[in-house]
Amino acid sequence: MSNIKTMQMITDERERALLAPYAMHSANTRGRRHAEAAHPYRGPFQRDRDRILHSAAFRRLSDKTQVFTDWNDYHRTRLTHTMEVASIARTIGRALRLNEDLIEALALLHDIGHPPLGHAGEDALAEVLRGHGGFSHNQFALTLVEELEQRYPSFPGLNLSLEVLESQAARADKSNPNAAPLLEAQVVDLADSITYDAHDTDDAVKLELVSLEELHRVPLLAELTEELIRRHGPLEPKPLRKALVHQLIDYQVSDVLAGAGAELIAGNFPSFDAVRAARFRLAPSAVVLARKRELEIFLYNAVYRHEQVMAVRDEGQGRLKELFSVYVKNPDYLPEEFRHRAEGVGLERAAGEYIAGMTDGFCGRQYESYVRGKPRSPAN
Ligand code: MG
């Protein structure tokens, strides 16, 4: 296309006009591991977002557990959680004039490495892979997009921009005190926490694991409820639950924008490098952080450790471990590409990675075939 240069100039001009100087502008990207020509009408981070969206691993999020497995059609899956994170992250990013394309790419990527059965699945895999590299969903997201996804003839993985890979690597290793993630990556981390605090509260009430009255034991939720009643008068349980979730999101987003967000804007940082050198952190205020901690302790005890959730968790973990040992004893049950991968990374690791990529449903069917019943050929 003869107008490539013109289109690139349009992306650059658009970003110069809309984004703050401290945002990660497409013009400043360090490129990709495997060099590729610029796309005629998409900027680099738009292209990353599209590559993630079109990956098999992303589509599988629709049948992966967030917290609750198959209870009804209401609660979040890993996919709807991801879309909520992308939406809230873009809202914060737009208010702070950050790069929304990069934010969206990072949000769509952030949970792509989750195995079936949520954190229960992750813990079971970490246990069976002890001594074989362990398992973390944040790290596995990188393995997926750099090695396992095969979508392009010229390179393995998705060949994402280095800024995207580096941001996901910072999620995977939070131990580096010198790390100063890009603001766009920090926004996604914040949005993740805002999102799950709100939707886990919503799902838990809807699934009747906790009552609205019990929520009032959490000071933040009691305060927000009082405020809603002041504004609307007494509310029936259903509208109250919904209003409370909206309020919980708005409360957290407003806090970030009014606190750290305002500080960022006032800082007049001339470039993303300057903001990074200053190790600027976008974080909730101390008050909100303490309030969120109280809410998260409540969610942990009343919801994540609820006996019904724990029963599903224990059963799922047992199944996943059994399936793993069946694959390790019978490598011919693995699809060809994972048998081949086992030659490089070891059989245990390859079997664990194969399981990690599965949806809840596929994992259940594999269990029924290979552990409970008559083996059949592995599906792709
Ligand atoms: Mg998440």
Is the distance from CB of 110 to CB of 192 less than 8 angstroms?
Answer: yes
Rounded to two decimals, the pTM is 0.94
CA of 240 to the centre of ligand 1 (A): 25
Question: Ligand 1 centroid vs 96 CA: distance in angstroms?
Answer: 21
Maximal C-alpha separation, the chain: 66
Ligand 1 centroid–CA 183 distance in Å is 17
For residue 74, the model assigns a pLDDT of 72
**In angstroms, what is the span from residue 119 Cα to ligand 1's centroid?**
11
- Say how many Å lie between the CA of residue 208 and the centre of ligand 1: 23
Q: Please give the distance, rounded to the nearest whole angstrom, from the Cα atom of residue 373 to the centre of ligand 1.
A: 35
Residues with CB under 5 A from ligand 1 (ion): 111, 192
Tell me, what DSSP letter sits at residue 132?
T
166 CA distance to ligand 1 middle (Å): 17
Per residue in 316-340, pLDDT tens?
999 999 999 999 999 999 999 999 9
Tell me how far the alpha carbon of residue 279 lies from the centroid of ligand 1, in angstroms: 24
Cα-based distances in Å from 189 to 15, 82, 271: 23, 12, 21
How far does the centroid of ligand 1 lie from the alpha carbon of residue 111, in Å?
Answer: 5
Distance 116 CA to ligand 1 centre (A): 14
Ligand 1 centre from 222 Cα, in Å?
A: 26
Q: What are phi and psi of 77, to 5 degrees?
A: -100, 175
The whole-angstrom separation of Cα 97 and Cα 22 is 9
Ligand 1 centroid vs 346 CA: distance in angstroms?
29
Measured in Å, residue 110 CA sits from the centre of ligand 1 at: 6
Q: How far is the CA of 245 from the centre of ligand 1 (A)?
A: 17
How far is residue 74 from each of residues 16, 69, 70, 71, 202, measured CA to CA in Å? 41, 11, 9, 8, 10
For residues 213-234, give the mean pLDDT. Answer: 94
* Percent of the chain clearing pLDDT 90 (strictly above): 78
127-135: which pairs have CB atoms within 8 A and are 24 or more residues apart?
127/321, 128/321, 128/324, 128/325, 128/348, 128/352, 129/348, 129/349, 129/352, 132/346, 132/348, 132/349, 132/352, 133/345, 133/349, 135/352, 135/356
CA pair distance 354, 337, nearest whole angstrom: 10
Q: What is the pLDDT confidence band of residue 380, given thresholds at 50, 70 and 90?
A: very low
* 135-179 pLDDT, tens digit each: 999 999 999 999 999 989 999 999 999 999 999 999 888 877 666
What spacing in Å lies between the alpha carbon of 343 and ligand 1's midpoint? 32
Q: Cβ neighbours of residue 277 under 8 Å, at least 6 residues apart?
A: 180
pLDDT for position 379: 53
d(CA 203, CA 221): 15
- CB distance 257 to 92 below 8 Å: yes
The CA 100 to ligand 1 mean position distance, Å, reads: 18
Q: What digits encode the pLDDT tens for the residues 247-276?
A: 999 999 999 999 999 999 999 999 999 999
In the reported structure, the alpha carbon of residue 63 is separated from the centroid of ligand 1 by a whole-number distance in angstroms of: 15
CB 93: neighbour CB atoms within 10 A? 25
pLDDT at 88 over 70: yes
Tell me which DSSP letter residue 153 carries.
T
Closest CA to 26 of 86, 100, 90, 77: 100
In this structure, are residues 135 and 122 in contact, taking their beta carbons and an 8 Å threshold? yes
